[in-house]
Every structure is written in structure tokens, then in C-alpha cells.
Amino acid sequence: MPPSGSDQASALKTGSQLTTANNVANPGRGTAPLAYDSRLNALPSSASNSSDTSSLANAKPITAGPDVSDFEQQGRASWYGRGFHGRKTASGERYDMHALTAAHRTLPLASWVRVTNEANQKTVVVKINDRGPYARGRVIDLSYAAAAVLGMRGAGVGKVKIEGLTPQEARAAARDQALASINPVD
């Protein structure tokens, strides 16, 4: 990648000095500037990294997600499945129709919500990892698995209530869902 802006002038200057040195040592070689050498010299040494106070030990877990606990919405939900399976979502993840995920137009990606089917009061917690729905009059597109949990697979569309969750509530709900799938109640 070529340098840009003010880096270009310093890289060309350094590169021309390196090129002259290369031509003396290897007169048969080309005269292309070695601009990347100047960038390597500008990198901090590993000794300066050890004094850095941040480390991976202090990093937040990737699954944390934003707090959307003040969000509530009601409307019609639909689901999408096989036709989108394996395609990239807006978050960059691959869509998995068997995962508990959903698409929403405005909620932050990586946020978690509880979706309740108002017809039968079944609930599911899903991660927002895509944008949509693009069908008029719908507020959320659920994965095939989430629609199955809510009992919406056959109908395709249903009236739902969406409630935002904090990251802690989402982790607890996901753990409870996992336990429920291992030990089904009904």
C-alpha cells in the first residue's frame, strides 16, 4: 500500500536514501524506493509495549454487546431461513438459520432482545446481527430457530413484543435457554 499525505514525503526521502545504498551494494538492481522500511523503523519497540497499561487480560468479552434495556416495541415479526443460510449478515457473521438471531432496522448490532409471541406468550432471547426486515409493516426478522421456539414457523408472521436486555440479562437468559433445550419442560 503506498504511503499517503505527509508520510509520502518522508517515505520517499528515506526510500531514496535506501535505494542509493542498495544500488551501491547491488548495482544491477532496480531503483524502486523501499518506503516500507521507513514505516518499520517508526514502529515502537517491544520494550515500549511492556509499559502499556492495557492488556488482553483487561479486555471486555466480545459477547458483551450494548445495553438496550430501555427499548420496547410491538409489531409484526417474520422469519427468514434457508435462502439466506450461510450469507454474511450486516455484522459480518454468517447467517445461521439454526442460531437464535434476528434482524432489526435500528437496534445496535450485537445487542440482545427478548421477543414474545403475543398469541401464545412464548419467548425467546435473540442476538441482533443483521439489518431488516425489508417487508412493509414488520418490525423484526427472526431466524428459523427463533421462529420455531415462538411457534411462528407455520404462520410465517406473528404479532410480537420486543424488549431490550442488558448484557447481564442476555447472558442469564441465554444460559437459561440452553438449560431448557437440554431438559425440555413439556
Question: pLDDT tens-digit profile of 132-159?
Answer: 998 899 999 999 999 999 999 888 899 9
DSSP string, 130-151: E----STTEEEEEEHHHHHHHT
Provide the phi-psi class of 60: left if phi over 0, else alpha when psi is between -120 and 50, else beta: beta
Q: How far apart are the first and last CA of the chain?
A: 60
Q: What mean pLDDT comes out for the span 11-18?
A: 43
Question: Domains in the chain and their CATH numbers?
Answer: 6-56 (no CATH), 72-182 (2.40.40.10)
Cα 180 from Cα 80, distance rounded (Å) = 24
Which band of pLDDT confidence, cut at 50, 70 and 90, is reported for residue 42? Answer: low
pLDDT tens digits for 49-96? 444 444 445 544 445 689 999 999 999 999 998 889 999 999 999 999
> What pLDDT shows up at residue 96?
94
- Strands, DSSP E only, in the chain? 72-80, 101-103, 112-117, 123-130, 138-143, 157-164
> What pLDDT shows up at residue 38?
52
> What pLDDT shows up at residue 97?
93
Residue 9: alpha-carbon gap to chain centroid? 37
Residue 147 is placed in which grid cell?
A: 421462529
Q: CB-based burial of residue 114 (10 Å sphere; 0-12 exposed, 13-18 middle, 19+ buried)?
A: middle
